[in-house]
Structure 1
Amino acid sequence: MSELEKKIALIPPPELVQYVGGDFQKVGKEFIKHFIQIGSLKSNETVLDVGCGVGRMAVPLMNYLGDDGAYYGFDLFKDGITWCKNNISTARSNFHFEHVDIYNQFYNPEGKEDASQYKFPYEDDSFDFIFLTSVFTHLLPKELEHYVSEIVRVLKKDGSCFITFFLINPESSYYLNSGLSTLGFYHQIENCYVVNKDIPNFAVAYPEEDIRTLLNKHGLEVINQPHYGLWCGRNEYTSYQDIVLTKKASER
């Protein structure tokens, strides 16, 4: 099989890609760049992809992580995990995928596990680098805080966590109130804002200060300023969502 044929073979079928949304190859390529340039991801690190979908980040990471590195991913999308196991793990034995039956009103309404109590299936202090792309943008406060506590548990001392959010701050509020945002976060639930109050997990935004406070409470230090995104209609942006890089506090 030629290199081109191998690349084509590692594009999931359209019905799987459609489930996770976005341009599979374009988004994957973009975020590998962000992981390296913003997150300082090294090729020999052990990484965790929380909400790995159908391998949108795993496929390009196959060409970056070496045999001395390792990839672990879990998701509630069973068909996506099956595809990843059959097409990625068979090519790279250090790439591991796990299906989790977590309830999500939008993505997995039949799920049996409660996201606010789910224990990640990994030992303490297992990972150098954890990333969550378009995960906290679908979690409500209780679920999000529990995930943060689990991230801290499985992250190694001085390990990094790369997270995307929809952050509410004075700038994004201005664009929201001006009607320029691509998403209308106009319904408040507890301390977060949602687009659809009937299906709140569809899209969730949080005040930036609340996120900083929560991360700090659990021992994740925000590194530098967030890399703000296009979602609210701002003119200068890094990606579509806001990117926050954190590091596990050494005293934890």
Structure 2
Amino acid sequence: MIVVVLGSGGSAESANRACSSYLINSEIVIDAGPGSYKNFLKYGGNPLKIKYFLISHLHGDHFFDIGAFLWGMSYYGRTEPITIIGPKGIKQAFDSLIKFANTPKTFMRFDVQYIEIEPGENLKLESLKLSTENGKHTVQDIAYRVDSLCYTGDTSPNENIVELCKKASLLIHESSGFAENEEYLNSVGHSSARQAATEALQANARKLLLTHIPPLVSNHTAKMKSEATKIFKETVVAKDLLELEI
């Protein structure tokens, strides 16, 4: 499995980080935060190859670029249907986004199929097994596991995440700040680097990728990695266009 970080930032874009997005095997996009479509093109991605979008939750830094992806697919002549999977309300959110952009239905020459999934549901994405659990955020967050890859979306520490990610080859875990800010971070549904590392250790994951790094801490990732590696050595800090093979 090839994983490409299309967006490693959180809350808002920064000069060197698009918001949350990850490309799996050139066919699956997990979250589509602002700036991610441009990075998808920089990487050499083909809009006609994408089959599925998995959206963790309906905050703008995780799905606003879905419009850019769909528009690009239309521009490049896509006719094959696309499937968007996410929490309840996802169809209404995307219909509103397309309507707001004054996109005529005739421009979209392919069908968009929606699956509003409940935490705990499992699906098959062709040869890949998709499992889900509840994150712990200010809105419903769905954490995803695709075979041996696990992605938390936005969450404060949560035993559901640990259970979902048992023995994952790669745990992509949000990391919105440092140990001294944990009380605040947890109150708004986020985790520190230390807490992400603790969950990786508890889950017996093979590797941890810290991501969702907000602009105000983007220049302090060495501290973030230091706090995490004291608990879980196999820790990497995400950056845009990083490619990993698992």
The interval holding the TM-score normalised by the smaller chain is 0.3 to 0.5
TM-score (norm 2): 0.45
Structure with greater contact order relative to length (CA < 8 Å, sep ≥ 6): 2
TM-score (norm 1): 0.44
> Is the radius of gyration larger for structure 1 or structure 2?
1
